């Protein structure tokens, strides 16, 4: 497995030249939905996130803005650097996890569940501040084991269909599956508005969808496996532009 | 209150025809979709949208369940002078929301 | 090891979908149209409907309609209605206009249950009705959830 990862890392520069966001493979009409904030339904969640950002919550009476001031000045580039290392827990943490942690532990507010409207809204609002910026995973050796675990999970066959992520998204990316182009699976736009969902959803929701698709038991929301896969995928997508909040079919 | 986005051109001249674009957060449950328990989820949609400028109707629409979730609408209107735009969405289960925006001509 | 064939299995859920539950039909659409026009003749023309002929997800399909009209007191569009043949209901939306609208323009996002024909009909202040139609193919995504 270690050799696998090594080979993969060696291949990265070559692959990097051909990396493409699945935005490129969408219908022109779906691209237009994402390009224009007045038609992108995800902006409704962003608006809610903006209100949550500046609204006091919890026993401490703090808002996000009380500590972080305006998101437009404090948050650019932040979403592009997650998952990051969480000193308190000695484990990697994703952006949604960090927001939920801040909410519960610093603001003393009721916890925001994974995939709850509030957590999606705040993630989208913080993510928007990095739109157009390159994905820049932290150069933190403590994250290396998670990236390696993510790479292993990505390459591991699972489910009744006995398929790995890599078999679709590396070996067959760009080919057609049904009427869809198989994407390279770069997490550039999460949380995103998926037409299939008719709502906003996280990368973890997308990963769960893939897992049930190959008839595998998905990990629970917030599981370290998802954080590891995200850490690997963000490393793999390093340098690509953030699109949050994206639109996908 | 449902989240609403209303897009109005920044600079408007008297007599100009402007385009208003709106999004509202609503699931538009069609009444034809089976839920997790296999039973059809009851219909819950927006039924009617009205736009008035200083109480004069400029645009209205009636929706069927075939309008997508988080309904988007775009329409135009003539702005003769500054005034107030009033947008109202009405729907199933007593949904009724009104938003107003001041429109000032340059 | 035949990966492509295995991948195709991913598309299997689409084959398990119940047969189209569509209840609209060309006849139901004609009936809904009669309700809108009161039985008056509908002439193709003056209406331009813009919708992608190939739709990758039927949940949110951008659609716009514009009618060629001076939008004056004497000559304006009073309403635009959209109908379909294969959704559960033949009616999609009816929009109402006045000279204050400035333009007879409608843009919205609609749902399409399956490939079908759409009809946009404009009612003019002189009592005439004009139309445009479009044939739309809705493709099925391979990886449906749930």
Task: Please give the pLDDT value at position C74.
Answer: 97
Q: With CB atoms and an 8 Å threshold, state whether B59 touches C97.
A: yes
Is B60 close to C96, i.e. CB distance below 8 A? Answer: yes
Q: Is there a contact between C130 and C43 (Cβ–Cβ < 8 Å)? A: yes
Measured in residues, chain C has a length of 146
Contact A217, A207 (CB under 8 A): no
Is the pLDDT reported for residue C140 higher than 80? no
The tens digit of pLDDT for each residue in B21-30 reads 999 999 999 9
Q: Is it the case that residue C10 has pLDDT exceeding 70?
A: no
Mean local confidence (pLDDT), B9-29: 97
* A68 carries a ligand binding annotation: yes
Classified as helix, coil or strand, A155 is: helix
C6 inside domain = no
Q: Residue C144's pLDDT is what?
A: 65
- In chain B, DSSP assigns E strands to 4-7, 16-24, 46-53, 56-63, 72-79, 83-91, 96-103
Determine the Cα–Cα distance for residues C133 and B6; give it in Å rounded to an integer. Answer: 30
- For the stretch A200-207, contacts whose Cβ atoms lie closer than 8 Å and that sit 24 or more positions apart, written own/partner, are A200/A42, A200/A45, A200/A120, A200/A121, A200/A124, A200/A245, A201/A115, A201/A120, A202/A96, A202/A114, A202/A115, A202/A120, A202/A123, A203/A230, A203/A233, A204/A96, A204/A114, A204/A115, A204/A230, A205/A115
Model confidence pLDDT, tens digit, residues A53-93: 999 999 889 999 999 999 999 999 999 999 999 999 999 99
The per-residue pLDDT for range A2-53, each reduced to its tens digit, is 444 444 444 444 444 589 999 999 999 999 999 999 999 999 999 999 999 9
Q: Give Cα separations from B91 to A79, B21, B24, B27 (angstroms).
A: 37, 19, 12, 12
Check whether A241 has a pLDDT greater than 60. Answer: yes
Nearest 5°: phi and psi at A208? Answer: -65, -40
Interface probe, candidates A23, A25, A27, chain C, greatest C C-beta count within 10 A: A27
- Whole domain around residue C46: which residue ranges? 20-140
- The model carries a pTM of 0.90
Beta bridge partners of A85: A92
Q: How many domains does chain C have?
A: 1
pLDDT at A59: 87
> Does the annotation list A186 as a binding residue?
no
Asked, for residue C7, whether it belongs to a domain, the answer is no
pLDDT at position A16 is: 46
CA distance C125 to C46: 14
Examine residue C40 and state whether it is found in any structural domain, yes or no. yes
What's residue A180's pLDDT? 86
Q: What is the pLDDT of residue A38?
A: 96
Q: Would you place residue C16 in the very low, low, confident or very high pLDDT band (cuts 50, 70, 90)? A: very low
Question: Each residue of A95-147: pLDDT tens digit?
Answer: 999 999 999 999 999 999 999 999 999 999 999 999 999 999 999 999 999 99
Coil, strand, or helix at residue A208? helix
State the best of B14, B34, B58, B68 to mutate against chain C, taking most chain C CBs within 10 Å: B68
- What gap in Å lies between CA C20 and CA A26, rounded to an integer? 25
Question: Which A positions 181-240 lie with beta carbon below 8 A of chain C?
Answer: 182, 195-198, 209-210, 212-214
- Residues of chain C with pLDDT > 90, as a percent, come to 77
**For residues C93 and C86, what is the distance between their CA atoms, to the nearest angstrom?**
15
pLDDT band at C3 (very low <50, low <70, confident <90, very high): low
Contact yes or no for B34/B84 (Cβ under 8 A): no
Nearest to A84 by CA among A73, A93, A74: A93
For B68-91, write each residue's pLDDT tens digit.
Answer: 999 999 999 999 999 999 999 999
Helix (H, G, I), strand (E, B) or coil at A87: coil
For residues C127 and C133, the answer to whether their CB atoms sit within 8 Å is: no
What structural domains and CATH numbers belong to chain B?
4-30+44-103 (2.60.40.10)
What is d(CA B5, CA C23) in angstroms, rounded to the nearest whole number? 34
Residue whose entry in the numeric block shows the structure tokens 């340059």: B106
Residue B36 has a pLDDT of: 87
Residue A216 C-alpha, separation from nearest chain C C-alpha, in angstroms: 12
CATH for C34: 2.60.40.2470
Residue C35 lies in a domain: yes
B103 contact C CB<8A = no
Contact call for residues C58 and C114 (beta carbons, < 8 A) = yes
Q: C12 lies in a domain? A: no
Pick from A229-238, B57-66, C17-26: least confident: C17-26
Q: Mean pLDDT of all residues in chain B? A: 96
C145 inside domain: no
- DSSP-derived secondary structure letter, A220: P
- CA-to-CA distance for C135 and C84, rounded, in angstroms? 10
Res. A242: pLDDT tops 70: yes
**Average pLDDT in chain A:** 93
pLDDT, mean of residues C88-115: 96
| Rounded Cα distance, C8 and B103, in Å | 54
């Amino acid at each position: 497995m270690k050799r696998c990862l090594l080979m993969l890392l060696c291949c990265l520069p070559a692959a990097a030249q051909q990396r493409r966001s699945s935005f490129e493979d969408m219908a022109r009409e779906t691209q237009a939905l994402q390009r224009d904030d007045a038609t992108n339904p995800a902006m409704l969640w962003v608006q809610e996130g903006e209100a949550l950002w500046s609204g006091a919550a919890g026993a401490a009476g703090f808002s996000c803005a009380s500590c972080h001031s305006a998101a437009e000045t404090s948050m650019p580039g932040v979403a592009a650097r997650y998952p990051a290392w969480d000193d308190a827990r000695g484990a990697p943490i994703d952006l949604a996890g960090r927001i939920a942690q801040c909410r519960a532990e610093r603001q003393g507010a009721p916890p925001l569940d994974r995939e709850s409207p509030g957590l999606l809204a705040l993630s989208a609002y913080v993510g928007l501040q990095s739109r157009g910026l390159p994905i820049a995973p932290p150069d933190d050796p403590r994250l290396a084991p998670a990236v390696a675990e993510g790479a292993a999970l990505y390459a591991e066959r699972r489910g009744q269909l006995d398929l790995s992520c890599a078999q679709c998204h590396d070996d067959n990316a760009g080919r057609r599956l049904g009427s869809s182009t198989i994407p390279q699976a770069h997490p550039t736009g999460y949380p995103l508005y998926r037409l299939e969902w008719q709502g906003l959803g996280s990368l973890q929701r997308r990963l769960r969808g893939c897992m049930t698709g190959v008839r595998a038991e998905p990990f629970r929301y917030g599981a370290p496996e998802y954080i590891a896969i995200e850490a690997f995928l963000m490393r793999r997508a390093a340098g690509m532009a953030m699109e949050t909040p994206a639109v996908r079919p | 209150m449902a989240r609403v986005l209303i897009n109005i051109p920044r600079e408007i001249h008297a007599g100009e025809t402007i385009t208003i674009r709106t999004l509202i957060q609503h699931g538009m449950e069609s009444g034809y979709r089976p839920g997790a328990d296999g039973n059809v989820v009851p219909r819950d949609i927006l039924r009617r949208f009205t736009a008035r400028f200083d109480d004069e109707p400029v645009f209205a629409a009636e929706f069927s369940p075939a309008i997508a979730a988080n309904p988007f609408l775009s329409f135009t209107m003539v702005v003769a002078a500054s005034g107030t735009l009033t947008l109202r969405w009405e729907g199933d289960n007593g949904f009724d929301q009104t938003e107003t925006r001041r429109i000032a001509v340059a | 090891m035949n990966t492509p064939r295995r991948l195709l299995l991913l598309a299997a859920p689409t084959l398990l979908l119940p047969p189209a539950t569509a209840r609209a039909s060309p006849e139901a659409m004609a009936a809904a149209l009669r309700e809108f026009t009161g039985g008056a003749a509908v002439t193709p023309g003056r209406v331009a409907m813009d919708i992608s002929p190939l739709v990758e997800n039927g949940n949110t399909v951008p659609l716009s309609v514009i009618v060629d009209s001076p939008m004056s007191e004497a000559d304006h569009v009073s309403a635009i209605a959209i109908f379909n043949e294969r959704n559960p209901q033949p009616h999609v939306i009816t929009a109402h206009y006045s000279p204050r609208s400035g333009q007879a323009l409608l843009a919205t996002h609609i749902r399409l249950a399956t490939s079908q024909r759409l009809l946009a009909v404009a009612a003019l202040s002189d009592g005439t009705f004009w139309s445009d139609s479009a044939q739309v193919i809705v493709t099925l995504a391979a990886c449906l959830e749930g």
